[in-house]
Amino acid sequence: MLFELTNILGPQILVGLNRLNFILNQMITSPYLLETSPLTVQKVLELQYTILSAFDEAETEAKQLVFEYRFDLLAAWSVLSRRSETNVSKQMEKLGEISRELNCELEII
């Protein structure tokens, strides 16, 4: 359901992106959820990718707003990567695409 809503809203998802980003990051960094429901964590990562992909055709201002969450996203993905074997390269590549379109450097250590 949330995937369909994201596809319908597209870049208009910015209205609630702050809260949505917080909730999704809390879910993927939860050790309890990772142990009991790894499929849920995978679905959250897919949803984050869908949200980032919604900005492919967006204006520069919208991309800049979503790019402001880069450190939140990278921190959550880093925590998840340290706790499990989950691959977040697809999400990181999408964030890198936004970075390149904005002519910003995205340093990933």
Q: What pLDDT sits at residue 6?
A: 55
Q: Does the residue 64 lie in any domain? A: yes
CA 13/CA 11 separation, integer angstroms: 5
Measured in residues, the chain has a length of 109
Top mean pLDDT of 8-12, 62-66, 85-89, 103-107 is at: 85-89
Q: Does the residue 107 lie in any domain? A: no
Q: Please report, as a single letter, which amino acid is at residue 80.
A: L
Tell me the pLDDT band of 14, cut-offs 50, 70 and 90. Answer: low
Rounded to the nearest integer, the mean pLDDT of the chain is: 82
The mean per-residue pLDDT over the stretch 27-33 comes to 92
Total domains, the chain: 1
Question: Does residue 16 have a pLDDT over 80?
Answer: no
Q: What pLDDT sits at residue 28?
A: 93
**Cβ neighbours of residue 77 under 8 Å, at least 6 residues apart?**
28, 88, 91, 92
Tell me the pLDDT band of 9, cut-offs 50, 70 and 90. Answer: low
Q: What pLDDT sits at residue 99?
A: 86
Q: Does the residue 108 lie in any domain? A: no
CA 41/CA 47 separation, integer angstroms: 10
Q: Does the residue 109 lie in any domain? A: no
Note down the domain range covering 71. Answer: 2-101
* Region at 103 (left for phi over 0; alpha for psi -120 to 50; beta for the rest): left
Residue 16 CB-density burial (10 A; 0-12 exposed, 13-18 middle, 19+ buried): exposed
Q: Does the residue 54 lie in any domain? A: yes
Tell me the pLDDT band of 109, cut-offs 50, 70 and 90. Answer: very low
Question: Does residue 100 have a pLDDT over 90?
Answer: no
